[in-house]
Structure 1
C-alpha cells in the first residue's frame, strides 16, 4: 500500500499576505533560483566580448546541460562543475554549501574538452561557448581545467562499467580527457525551434503557473514513456489522497524528460502529442494538470539518477514527488536482468541527503485487471487475474499493429503511438538495400 509521508509545515506557506496561496511551497535549493541568462540590455556587449575569446565547442547534449544550468534546475549550481563540486557530486551525491547545509546533486554536470582545446585555452581565465551550429551560446568565467577520469566517473555513476550504457556510449566514451568548470553566462534563452518550446517552462515560469492556479500542493511525475491508464490511475489516486489529507487544490506536474534518450525510446514530439491526447480524452484533468518538458538528458543510472530527477523538481516548486518501480532504470546492457534492484530507487530517495524537505510518494503497482478489463492496483490475493504490460511489450503491440487490451490506454493516445510506429517501419523499409535480380 502506498505510504504518504507527513507534510512538513516548514516547507509550506499556505497563508501569505491576505491569505493568498503561494506556489513556493518549497524553497529552491540554496534559497533562491539561479538564473544565468544575460539580461537583454547587456547582451550586445557580452556577445562582442565573447567573439574575441577562445571558443569551446558544445555538443547537442552539452547544450542541453547549458539549458538545465541556466534556468536553475540545478540550483545552486552556477555553471559546469569545478573539481571540488565534481568530486562531491561523484562521491557523496551532494554539495555542501558555505553555511554548512547540504543540497542534493547526484549527477556530475560537467563539460569535457580534448587536448587541443586545452592547449588553445592555455592559462586564460574565461572562454566562449559555441553551439553545434557554431553560434555563440555563452561565456564560462574563472575556469578550472582538471583531468577527466572516465572509468571512475562511469563506475560511480552507474555502478558498472559494462559496455552498452547509452549515455556512456553517446557522451562519455568519445569525450575529451579533460573537464572544464566555471561560472556560466548564457547569452540568450536556449530554444530548439521544434514546435515544442512553449512546453519548456523554466522553474520560475512553473512557479508562476502554480501561483496562477492557486495550488496548495504540487506533485510531480517524471516519465520518459507514453502515459497509459496505469500511470493515470496512479496520478489521479495521488491527487485523491492529497485531498483526503486536507489540501484544497493539489496540482499535478506531468513532466516528461526532454533531453537525450536512448534510441528505442519514443521520441519527445510523439510523447508530447500522446500526452495531449490523454488530456483530451479526459484520462487526466487539464484543470488540475500542468504539462511541461523537463530539459535534462537521461542517464539511465537508476537510484543515482532518480535523486537528480527529484531534486530538480524541488527547484520547480514541487513539494511532492511520485516514485515508482525501478525509476531511471534499464535492463542490464549485456545480461538478461534489470541493471538495478527495482525497489532501491524509492528507498534511496527516502534517505538521500538534501532531499529531506521533499515528500516522497512511493506508488502502488498498477497492472491490467483482466476481470474488470481496466488498469487497477495489483491485488496479490488474485495475482492470476492481472497482466503486466511492460514498456517493451507496449512498443511491440504498437509496432505490430496489435491493439492492447481495452482500458490499457486512451484511444487517442494509442492512435498516436500506432501512427508513429507505422511511419518508423516505412522509413526502415525505405532504408533497406535494393536487391537486383537478373
Structure 2
C-alpha cells in the first residue's frame, strides 16, 4: 500500500473547522493533562502537520507491535519506526487514563495546549524486544536504546489526536514549513523533481558537491532538509548548524536549492530510519531522496563495531522502493582530488589518484586547537561560523567533579583548586560545594536514592550552563551512585557549545580516616542510628570504575592533588 500524504490534522482543522479549535480549547481547560517530553513534542508536531502521514495519532498496541515486527502498520501500510506516547504507571493511575479517556497534550516550554488525544488503549512494551527489533541490538551504546531504557516511561498509550494549535517556534521561523506549505512552495516554483538531502551535521564542500551532482543527474532541484529536533547526544547544536546551512546556500547555482527545517526527533536507527526518512520526505513533497554511507548510523557499539553496515540503509530502502513512491539516490562517500580540484564519489576514483579527506574527528580537533581548515574542505564562511561556536580548548569550559565520602577532603581540594585556577586567570571559576548546593538548590530534598539523583542532576544542569559560557566549574557532591554520576556527565557533555568537558575525580580517602577526623561528629551520629541513610555507614558508596584521576589525602598532600588535576587539564589542552 502506498503512502499518500494527507494535508495534516492541523491543516484540516485550521482551514475547515475553526470553531472546533475554540471548542477544543474550552474542553482542554477541564481535561487531565500530560506535559510532553522534547521527543514527544517533535513527534506530535509531525503527526499533526502531516509529516508522519498516514499516522493520525500515537500508535496503539496493534500498530506498535506490527511496526516493531514487520515495518508495517496493522493495515499493511509501510511505516518503519514506532511512534509512541510513553507515560508512567503513576500517571496512568493519577490521571485515571483508560480507553476512551481524553487527555490534553501540553507544550513542555510554556504548557500551551497543543492537542487532545482520545485513548484507544494502554499497553506495556517489551523494551528489549523493541530495541532488538527496531535498532538491531539491545546495546546501551546506541543512543536510542539508552534513551529507551533510561528515559522512556513504562507504559504506552495509543490513540488519534485532535490538534488545537501548532507548537510556537521563536527561531528560524521563515525556514519552517509544514508539508502542505512546502509542497505548495514547490508547485509555485514549478519544481517537478526535488531531491531531498537529510543531515544532522554541518555541511561542507563535499555535501554541496554531492547534492549538486544528484540534482544534475536527475534534472531536479535540491531540498536541504536538516533535522532541528533531537539528534545524537554531542552533535553540533542546531543554531550553529542552521547558520552553517545559511552560509552554504549561496554556493549553489542560482535557483537550484531551497533550505527548510525539519523538527524531527531522530532515533539514529540506520536502515529503518532511512525508510522512515524517505516516507517523511515524500510527505514534504520530495520526489527523490539521497541515502548515503551509514545513513542515520549512531557509530560503534560497545564492542567497537559499527552498529550497521555502510550501505545497509541503501539496501533496505531499495527493498521498499515500489511502496515508498520516492526514488532513492544512492551515494558513496565523496573525496577530494587535488589534481583536478574537484570532489568525486570514492568508487569512481581511478586507482593511484591522490585523494584528500578530513574526518569529523580531525575537523573537531582543528576547531578546538585553531589549526587551519583548508579551502578545499570547506568554505570560509562555514569555518567562520563554526569557530564562533567552537573556540579553542583554552577558551572552553570544563567541569571537575569531585566525588567521595563525607570528610574525604573533596571540599578542601575544591577550594584549593579554585584558588589555583583563579590565580592562573583566563576563566571565571565556580565552586559548587555539596553542602552549599544542598542548602541553596536542594533544601527540600532528602537523602533517598531518588532525591540524591535529583540533587546531582541539578548540580549537573548548573554546571552545564556555566561551562557552555566558558567557565570552569568545580563540584564536590558525595554522589555515591554510579548511575547519577554518569547522568551528570551526560548532561554536561550534551550541553554543546564551548562546554562538554567533564572530568571525574575520585577522592578515595578511606572511611576509617574520614570517620576518625570528623570534627562535627556526623559519623558518630550515624553509628548511633541518629542519622539514617548515611553514605558509608548504612548506605552504599559505589566506587567509580572510570575516574579520570583517583586521589587520597592520606597518601598525598592537597597541593600534590591539586597539581595532578592541573596536569590533567593541561594534558587535555584546557590550560
- The answer to whether TM tops 0.5 is yes
State the shift of 1:414 in Å: 1.5
Q: Is this contact kept in 2: 1:34–1:76, CA < 8 A?
A: no
> For 2:121, what is the secondary structure of its paired residue?
strand
Given the alignment, which residue of 60, 66, 71 partners 2:38? 60
CA deviation profile, 1:172-197 (whole Å, cap 9, x unmatched) = 4232211001111121112222x222
Aligned to 1:259: 229
Q: Structure 2 matches for 1:88-103, cutoff 5 A?
A: 88-95=66-73, 97=75, 102-103=76-77
1:126 matched to 2:102: yes
**427-436 or 309-318, larger mean C-alpha shift:** 427-436
Given the alignment, which residue of 49, 55, 58 partners 2:27? 49
Given the alignment, which residue of 160, 164, 179 partners 1:203? 179
State the shift of 1:43 in Å: 2.2
Given the alignment, which residue of 368, 389, 395 partners 2:358? 389
Q: Structure 2 matches for 1:87-166, cutoff 5 A?
A: 87-95=65-73, 97=75, 102-119=76-93, 120-123=95-98, 124-133=100-109, 134-166=111-143
Structure with more contact order per residue of length (Cα contacts < 8 Å, sep ≥ 6): 1
CA deviation profile, 1:103-142 (whole Å, cap 9, x unmatched) = 3211100010101111122435211112224332210014
RMSD: 2.4
Aligned to 2:409: none
> For 1:375, what is the secondary structure of its paired residue?
strand
State the shift of 1:168 in Å: 3.2
> Could you tell me how far apart the structure 2 residues matched to 1:184 and 1:423 are?
47
> Could you tell me how far apart the structure 1 residues matched to 2:299 and 2:149 are?
20
Distance 1:354 1:424, change over 3 A: farther
Distance 1:424 1:158, change over 3 A: farther
1:403 matched to 2:345: no
> Could you tell me how far apart the structure 1 residues matched to 2:2 and 2:188 are?
19
> Could you tell me how far apart the structure 1 residues matched to 2:176 and 2:342 are?
33
State the shift of 1:309 in Å: 0.6
State the shift of 1:286 in Å: 4.8
**TM-score under structure 1 length normalisation:** 0.85
> For 1:287, what is the secondary structure of its paired residue?
coil
1:235 matched to 2:204: no
Q: Is this contact kept in 2: 1:129–1:137, CA < 8 A?
A: yes
Distance 1:300 1:322, change over 3 A: same
> Could you tell me how far apart the structure 1 residues matched to 2:352 and 2:280 are?
36
Q: Which has the larger radius of gyration?
A: 2
Q: Is this contact kept in 2: 1:28–1:315, CA < 8 A?
A: no
> Could you tell me how far apart the structure 2 residues matched to 1:423 and 1:118 are?
49
**201-210 or 140-149, larger mean C-alpha shift:** 140-149
Q: Is this contact kept in 1: 2:341–2:376, CA < 8 A?
A: yes
Which contiguous aligned blocks of 4+ residues in structure 1 show a shift greater than 4 angstroms? 429-434
Alignment gaps of 5+ in structure 1: 1-26, 244-249
